[in-house]
Structure 1
Amino acid sequence: MKLVMVLMLAVLPLCCYAGSGCSLLENVIEKTIDPTVSKEEYRDYIQAFTQSKTEENVVDEFKQCFLQQSNETLANFEQMMQTIYNSVFCKIF
């Protein structure tokens, strides 16, 4: 499960770098950590990036990981993501 999360977090920045726009990345991250967004809504939102039933299942498991976290953990995760994207190293790209 941790590997799935690492892979998803590694792929999303590449989509941003490839020219699809960082606003897309920010929106996906927002929906990922938002506890009011259900797995079905999340799957529908990123449907363009899933091509098979297996990938949809992975997306469901990924979202479920965040649904099981406390609000404090989600807030800390959001703060970590902001720190990463505001860092000097991220601005190089």
Structure 2
Amino acid sequence: MKLLPVLVLAALPFYCYAGSGCTLVSQVINQAIDPEVSKDQYIENFREFIPDAEAEEAIRQAKQCFLQQSEETLTNAQVMVDAIYNSVWCKSY
């Protein structure tokens, strides 16, 4: 179950490197990591970016993966996200 969050977070530098949406991606990841954000609330926050029911179900499953993680794992995921966004590759975007 820990593989999916790692894969999602590994894709962040590529999205950030593209030069658009780092703030949005940061919000998506921060809310995914936040255990106080429910799956339904998470879906509603990003509804405009969800094209269909299959994508919504995939997002629900990804959020569920984060909800099942320990506080230590969530803290480590946030540290990794911070390191990515503070890297020399993302700072200019």
Superposed pair shares fold, TM > 0.5: yes
5+ residue gaps, structure 1:
none
Residue 22 of structure 2 aligns with an amino acid whose one-letter code is C
Matches within 5 A, 1:1-93: 2=3, 6=7, 10=11, 14=15, 17=18, 19=20, 21-91=21-91
Give the number of aligned pairs. 92
RMSD after superposition:
2.8
In structure 2, runs of 5+ residues without a counterpart are none
Higher relative contact order (CA 8 A, sep 6+): 2
TM-score (norm 1): 0.78
TM-score where L is the length of structure 2: 0.78
Q: Percent identity?
A: 41
**More helix as a share of residues:** 1
